[in-house]
Amino acid sequence: MSELPSRLMALGLRHVADHLDDLVALAQKRRLGARELLEHLVDLEEKDRARRSLERRTVRSRIGRFKPIADYDWNWPSRIDRARVEAAVQLDFLADHRNVVLVAPQGLGKTMLAQNIAHQAVVAGHSVLFLTAAQMLLDLGGQETARGLDRRLRFYAGISLLIVDEVGYLSFDARNADLLFQVVSRRYEKKSLVLTTNLAFQDWPSVFPNATCATALIDRVIHHADVLAIEGESYRLREAEKRAGKTEGAKRP
């Protein structure tokens, strides 16, 4: 028994190796036959590997902390197509390699909704990456060689679901526009893309003021896309005003 845990570990049976004494005791207590014991061990290993795989995908996705979709206040926006948003969270677009574009002013929860889409994709077994447009373009723009840049472009192209947050919050030069265009083009009709933006598409050229590829970029994004527009006043502003009101009320004698 002293060597068995290490041998099990070498075979990749981590859960069995870590819980060997408990499993032996359970087998003796229940008087499990050889077949029953093997089925029980396989079941435990499968569940443990699925758990560890989910943990790895979650960490790699960079989703971060977020509020679940159950906490979203559907009554606050003045305009939102709840059925289409919920369909996107249920990943109905992935099988057809469609894109999802969440268009809304600041404070209406488009990042939260994108994070919920990302989380659902992770749970479903997909490789996912969530990052802002600025983070991705900084990474790509920082590559010092053509080979390094191509390697990073292939990385962003190969992820099952790429979520690019905050397109439109900063202006980018022509080189950054070209880099974003390359990512979109490599994924076009092959892998799904989720974008969040605070700008209508006709205003996107202002984000890439000197870029000749802005129109082609928009075309590839929306050609096979569910564009989900949300309108209303900032939810975060409402929450801040509520907190300020409570604080003011607490100060009154």
pLDDT one-digit tens code per residue, 209-248: 766 787 888 899 999 999 999 999 887 666 666 666 555 5
The pLDDT assigned to 244 comes to 62
Q: Which residues contact 123 (CB under 8 A, 6 or more apart)?
A: 54
Q: At 13, which helix (H) or strand (E)? A: none
The pLDDT assigned to 246 comes to 56
Mean pLDDT value across residues 79-97: 96
Asked if residue 19 lies in contact with residue 10, where contact means CB atoms within 8 angstroms, the answer is no
Residue 33 has what DSSP assignment?
-
Q: Torsions phi, psi of 56, nearest 5?
A: -65, -45
The pLDDT assigned to 88 comes to 97
Q: Torsions phi, psi of 215, nearest 5?
A: -65, -45
CATH of domain 69-238: 3.40.50.300
Q: Measure the CA–CA gap between 85 and 67, rounded to whole angstroms.
A: 15
Q: Measure the CA–CA gap between 36 and 42, rounded to whole angstroms.
A: 10
Q: Domain coordinates of the chain in residue numbers?
A: 4-60, 69-238
pLDDT one-digit tens code per residue, 151-201: 999 999 999 999 999 998 888 888 888 999 999 999 999 999 999 999 888
Asked if residue 32 lies in contact with residue 41, where contact means CB atoms within 8 angstroms, the answer is no
pLDDT one-digit tens code per residue, 109-168: 999 999 999 999 999 999 999 999 999 999 999 999 999 999 999 999 999 999 999 998
The pLDDT assigned to 251 comes to 55
- Chain mean pLDDT for the chain: 89
pTM, rounded to two decimals: 0.80
The β-bridge partners of 225 are 99
**Residue 14 has which token pair?**
């981590």
